[in-house]
Amino acid sequence: MNVRVGPWSVRLAPRALLVSVILVAIGFAVTVAALSTGEFTVPVPDIISAIFGQGPPVAELIVGKLRAPRVVTGLLVGAAFGLSGAIFQSLTRNPLGSPDFIGFTAGASTGGILAVVAGGSAMTIAGGALAGCVVTAVLVYALAYRGGVQGYRLVLVGIGANALLLAVNSYLLTRANINDAANAGAWLTGSLSGRGWDHAVPVALALLVLLPLCAFIARPMRMMEMGDDAAKAMGIKVEAVRAVAVTAGVLLAGVATAAAGPVVFVALAAPQLARRLTRSPGVTLASSALMGAVLLTAADLAAQRVLAPTQLPVGVLTAAIGGTYLVLLLRKDRH
């Protein structure tokens, strides 16, 4: 279905639109549950009042200072991971083409570990994670480039880089003192615990800048899924679009990792789940971002409330869920 607004024409898929609306509704319900439940239950009317600064002091403290920053960070980080995974799975035309597998998350982890070992602050750790992700992406892209970048070559080079970086991360942890190693290990699990507005704002700004860019290249990327030759025949500047897409995907994965640590499998599972729900022939960016936001926030809520009093870091739960999903994916798509 095409919708024309002035000189612009937008193609809307009814099923994809319906899935997106449902995901927004689920995300809203999860957000309300995360804000209202816990050791101190906050009624929904008090949540609304607290958001506008007119609620009881206790509600304003719990909602505005403790729970809302964590929930908002989870939504934004999940959306960034989901969108990043969708970009790389579209570029590689491979469900394993996510930042978790092609080394970018591992590179961000390396940068974060180096910052932790150096005794850096939270901002330094975030900067180190972003720098590690960018440097790894540049190296992987350069190694995979042979007159262009093919999807399978990028995945294979990325998997090799991922294995090497995991070995480097393990070595760094063995060389660090016990306190630094413990702090780095806690960061590596991926967690939303203690996250404040200073963690949410950078991710929000990154999404504000990169979402329009992703929307602009979405149509060329869908054409590129048919193959580079077919895309070139339709006038698509393949390498330019691929370079922009890789840049956007790397920055999204980097800022998400900087904010919450390397939360694994969200970037892998969210685009595939969204694709199956929308029954789209290719990866859908908007529904992937919404699915990532819902997955991460729901997993964090389950880790806090359902598994209480254990309260596992969200990265542990996403790893368990994502690992199970990966086994099912490989079993179903054996080729």
Residue 164's SS3 state is: helix
CB-CB contact of 312 with 263 (8 Å): no
pLDDT of 123:
80
- For residues 70 and 198, give the distance between their C-alpha atoms in angstroms, rounded to a whole number: 11
Q: What is the mean pLDDT of each run of 10 residues along the chain (335 residues)?
A: 50 78 94 88 84 80 87 95 92 83 88 82 83 90 77 83 90 84 81 88 93 88 80 82 89 91 88 86 85 93 76 82 75 61
CB 248 within 8 A of CB 301: no
What's residue 293's pLDDT?
94
The predicted pLDDT at position 3 comes to 47
pLDDT of residue 332: 67
The C-alpha atoms of residue 114 and residue 295 are separated, in whole angstroms, by 29
The pLDDT of residue 188 is 84
Is residue 203 within 8 A of residue 259, CB to CB? The reply is yes
What pLDDT sits at residue 17?
Answer: 85
> What is the structure's pLDDT at 235?
83
CB 264 within 8 A of CB 316: no
Alpha helices, DSSP H only, in 145-237?
Answer: 151-175, 178-189, 197-224, 228-233
For the chain, the structural domain boundaries read: 11-332
CA distance 149 to 141: 8
Instruction: Look at the block and give the residue holding tokens 């997993």.
Output: 299
Please give the pLDDT value at position 230: 81
Residues 292, 256: contact at Cβ < 8 Å?
A: no
Torsional sign, CA 154, 155, 156, 159: positive
Classified as helix, coil or strand, 94 is coil
CATH architecture type of domain 11-332? Orthogonal Bundle (1.10)
Single out the residue of 74, 131, 136 nearest to residue 106, CA to CA: 136
The model's pTM is 0.89
Q: What tokens were used for 155?
A: 């995945």
Query: Distance between CA atoms of 312 and 310, rounded to whole angstroms?
Result: 6
